Amino acid sequence: MLKGKHIILGITGGIAAYKSASLLRLFIKAGAEVQVVMTPAAKEFITPVTLSALSGKPVVSEFFTANTGEWHSHVDLGLWADAMVIAPATASTIAKMAHGVADNMLVTTYLSAKAPVFVAPAMDLDMFAHPTTSRNLELLRSYGNRIIEPAAGELASHLIGKGRMEEPENIFKVLEAFFAGRDDLKGKKMLVTAGPTYEKIDPVRFIGNYSTGKMGYAIAEEAASRGAEVVLVSGPVDITPVNKSIRLVKVESAREMLAACEAEFPTCDYGVMCAAVADYAPAEYAESKIKRAGNEPPMIHLVKNPDIARTLGMKKRDGQKLAGFALETDHELDNAMAKLRSKNLDMIVLNSLRDKGAGFGTDTNKITIFTADGRETAFALKSKREVAADIIDTIITL
Ligand code: CTP
């Protein structure tokens, strides 16, 4: 799977750097081409000579080679890579990556990288448990980076806890699985809607909701990694797709979302309606900011928004499959089944806000899928990416 793949191996200054040599050897043995990029501190822990001997390439660490003046282009490296792996990643490098502190070759390369980035943290248990580190890792995750969780065990400090870099064999397996991918959606086109919609009241206010887009983006990533051509029609969110093949169409209101979907759906095999579309929009948009004059609060008259899922459901051709979501707080089953029928969907994914870890903003979700042909499958609480895989595994059986 790794044969001919271009991997940047980023090494930072931690005791676990000695394990990077084993990881590098595994990559090379599997036929990958590896460019090692070290931070200055990493050289205190493992020598560049060892790593260049193993990789067959000079190690890059400085922006310039002092004696020749040759410039090392982090931009070219970022474009060259099929994946970047930072192992070990110290608390300091994680912080720099999270906040764009581009003061070394490794962080500039990270910022230029177009390929997926894998981060294997390694540090003492207290540093790992510190809220600063958790927050920085959370930020990296939200930018689409994949964190390879450290293991628990004896640390260099002889303390026992979580913070030990995952073993090279396991990091290698993560990369192997990533490159193996599945291509059961090759040749298929999928439309995914995600995020909230914003319905403008005046130049500074809107009606919206708490959707973060995480579930829809996870579905788009999963579908793209399985070979689908993906069009992601997204309301305003803070995430960007990682997979370069995903075509992102940014919209704001339900009407804009509908127009984008109507343009794309006719050529799609699948549609997954994950967006939390606002049901109503202000009847009129106030060109100037509504002032807080007088004592009477202003009246905002609402009009119904189009139902995007239903519009596509009514128009769908033979062979096109459409999935919707139902986020419910009560009468979950009845509401989900009613939506399945009224929107002419082929399946509906139910998440209940009563389940802990399900719904808006979380990284996990707990779903039950109902298909129009009468199947019902309840899944355990999983990461949104794993949930995305379950949804796609079901939609391809329809
Ligand atoms: N949906 C849509 N367009 C809308 C409203 C909903 O495409 N205007 C889609 C959602 O993306 C989701 C499904 O329809 O796939 C159900 O959304 P939900 O908000 O749960 O249902 P509603 O039909 O709006 O019903 P209610 O808000 O009354 O629960």
Please tell me the distance between residue 33's alpha carbon and the centre of ligand 1 in angstroms.
47
Residue nearest to atom 27 of ligand 1 (CA): 279
Residue nearest to atom 18 of ligand 1 (CA): 326
CA distance 368 to 287: 44
Predicted confidence (pLDDT) per residue in 124-150, tens digit: 999 999 999 999 998 998 888 888 988
C-beta of 312 in contact with ligand 1 (< 6 A): no
* For residue 154, pLDDT beyond 90: no
Average pLDDT, the chain: 93
**Residue 137 tokens, joined:** 């890792």
pLDDT band at 162; cut points 50, 70, 90: confident
Q: Dump pLDDT digits (tens) for 45-76.
A: 999 999 999 999 999 988 877 677 777 777 88
Question: Tens of pLDDT along 303-317?
Answer: 999 999 999 999 999
Q: What is the pLDDT of residue 269?
A: 97
- pLDDT score of 193: 98
Pocket lining: 339 vs ligand 1, CB cutoff 6 Å: yes
Portion of the chain with pLDDT greater than 90, in percent: 74
Q: Which atom of ligand 1 is nearest to the CA of 311?
A: 7
Residue among 215, 277, 351, 367 whose CB has most ligand 1 atoms within 8 A, to mutate: 277
Ligand 1 neighbour 42 (Cβ under 6 A): no
Asked if 215 and 274 count as a contact pair (C-beta separation under 8 A), the reply is yes
CA distances 249 to 107, 126, 241, 263, 316, Å, are 29, 42, 11, 11, 21
pTM for the whole structure: 0.65
Q: Is it the case that residue 191 has pLDDT exceeding 90?
A: yes
Choose among 398, 259, 384, 373: nearest CA to 322: 398
pLDDT at 66: 67
